[in-house]
Structure 1
């Protein structure tokens, strides 16, 4: 019995140590800025990043999307902006609100590699809560390429809409590429999207604060 107690004590110590190291790495790397290669172009376009306090989305003007891709999304008339988020499929579908979170869903998302989904939300105007990034056409093209390449495709090359209910009337879910894990979270996906677009961001940020730290907190004027 004493040996079992000693083993459990050591196991708990290792678990606490692993969590502590993970959080320390997340903090340090979130506050270290990337150094993207300089580009010579005019910052004449705006994209946005939003947070619900935990999860980040990237938001782009609808006209920046390729026509065929926008058609597959079946965007409603009047759409001006489209938000994209990547994350654990099971978590997305089973946790529309935090009160719906279960231990099993949380454990799977945190400790196991799991299937992913793209969460797409459409807007007719901007929100004051969004953070603004001014970028040039080359950057937005690379950003959109990263986003579209994150969608899983069927045998005909079309994106795969999930037959599940969205959180509201303006959002939907699609199958995504890649696996969710502690080291590739929804916010790591957004952070990587900014890296692909040659935008200064954190080296690695599994939490939202690392990405937001490098985006000026300016009020977004309403755009209709």
Structure 2
């Protein structure tokens, strides 16, 4: 049976499943799926949307028209590697939609380096989604660090921060004030990114958007 969309949550013989899927366009592979290294360039030639860990993503985007790429391993996970991240540019898509996440206590400098590598190797990203995965507190003010790097994505049109809590230094700050802080951040980003038309954030407590 020829498929256009496939999810493999746990599969030890992924290559054998994909060898006979020339029409496959969307692929979602789980953490316990292996065998990407056994695929040849002519396998799944129409793949345009991929969700995978970074090591598997590098193997699967190479030479394929992947436009939508979603990393299921975080940017500062143990398998994160700058050289691997750079090799995502081997997609002939090019990649215009990209999403990933950071761990609960992201290292600000690591975040900046990751974004720099992304902007350098995937310069045509139009939609960027970053799941923070926890609160941003102490001396790590992630949005400020991101503010320095987001303008490097010169084609950026849509920006999403998911599960993000903006550190304000005041735990009792009203929600309306937090919304105002985010609005100010996005207003600055719009000034720096001429093509940016929409930005939004979600947190465990509420949802807000700006356009």
* TM-score normalised by structure 1 residue count: 0.18
Which of the two has greater helix per residue?
Answer: 1
Q: Which has the higher contact order (CA 8 A, sep 6+)?
A: 1
* TM-score normalised by structure 2 residue count: 0.19
